[in-house]
Amino acid sequence: MNKKQIYIGVLGLFLSFFMSCKTEINKEDDTLDKLIGEVKENFAPDKRVALFDISFSENKDGIILKGESDMVAAVDALKQKLDAHKITYIDSVQHLPASSLAEKQGLITISVANLRGKPAHSSELVTQATLGTPVKILKNEGDWLLIQTPDNYLSWVDRGGVKGVLPAEFSKWKAAEKIIFLSTIGHAYTEADESSQVVSDMVAGGILEYLGEEKGFFKVQFPDGRQAFVNKKEAMEYDTWLERLDPSQESLVNTAKTLMGVPYLWGGTSTKGVDCSGFTKSIYFLNGIVLPRDASQQIHTGKQVDAKKDFDKLVPGDLLFFGKPATDTTKERVIHVGMWIGNNEFIHSAGRVHISSMDKDAPNYDAYNYNRYLRSNRYLNEAKDGLIELVKTPVFKD
């Protein structure tokens, strides 16, 4: 055997060993990807409301788990799977809320806070939160905070719109008497006089601490300590409002019609501007029921009452969903939602809040949405799985 043959033989053994190692590494990588995917599908199938951003890398010390999650149970489940597969790893996962945060609760301090997909004003508006909404603070990045709203929606807010509070301060706020602003739009003033200086604009659903009453006004306090006066004709004591809540077909329709003409705003969930699901969410919130944020989430709550355009089955308050049905190769896409108000009509936000008809002979017939109709769900007098009922859940007051 000559030197060339020996060289080729050694090279062959080396390549064989290298390829064998590479195959084993690839198999382990595939297993890791699969296990992470399984846990994510089980614990966090919807990234809008659950954070499980976990990946892995490799260095000379081995496999490193990295990323972040706000679900301890999900991370623990992944570790158990890795242990069961005898995969060794270094745990570098960051658990949220970040341990460096002293203030892990926050309160929205402005009439409407714009919540974005990324920590930048140029980022997409994904939702909004009205004055007095309590939020969980998960981490900070510069002047931005990653927060989670009471309906679990994850988003970023500019620090100027939220006040972080320590546990004792948050408990004190939860226990305090409050008022809820109910007019579509309005103001809070420095004195019990609408000709006095404006302290802030107000929108329906805003929550403030109750300090007293004076000359037909509520004296109130903002979460950041500002004090002001709100006309009693535009607001109500929160406990009284809760006691009087009786969501009905009539109350839902009446609330919806107070928002007629409000402009469409992608990501909007307030009376300053609403997208389609922000509109239905606002209607139900002002009747004491918190729906999930997006149409593609709302469709998975309530009870299905129609999927065949049999609109005689619908009653006022039912939500109609529109989009593209599933095919053999594509998933269903829920693109739009509106609320049935009777008389073959539904109210929805598209361009502005307005009323359309499913009657082909009506002047406001909406052929576009008729043709992309998917199905309708009912929420009144049905199981409230996936919803928050404010009379039963102390979101704003213990």
Q: How confident is the model at residue 3 (pLDDT cuts 50, 70, 90)?
A: low
Instruction: Name the active-site residue from 21, 187, 276, 300.
Output: 276
Indicate if 121 belongs to the active site: no
> How far is Cα 223 from Cα 218, in angstroms, rounded to an integer?
16
How many other C-beta atoms lie within 10 A of the C-beta of residue 49? 17
Instruction: Name the active-site residue from 121, 187, 336, 354.
Output: 336
Q: How confident is the model at residue 278 (pLDDT cuts 50, 70, 90)?
A: very high
* Residues written for the chain: 398
Contacts of 21 (CB under 8 A, 6+ apart): none
171: pLDDT strictly greater than 50 = yes
Judged by DSSP in three states, 32 sits in helix
Q: Do the beta carbons of residue 321 and residue 295 sit within 8 Å?
A: yes
Q: Do the beta carbons of residue 105 and residue 137 sit within 8 Å?
A: yes
Q: What is the pTM of this model?
A: 0.91
Give the full edge-to-edge strand order of the sheet including 303-306. 303-306, 373-378, 319-324, 333-342, 345-350, 352-357
The mean of the pLDDT values for the chain is 93
Give the full edge-to-edge strand order of the sheet including 112-116. 125-130, 112-116, 154-158, 144-148, 134-141, 105-108, 162-165
Instruction: Name the active-site residue from 21, 85, 187, 348.
Output: 348
Indicate if 187 belongs to the active site: no
pLDDT, average across residues 371-377: 98
pLDDT tens digits for range 207-237: 999 999 999 999 999 999 999 999 999 999 9
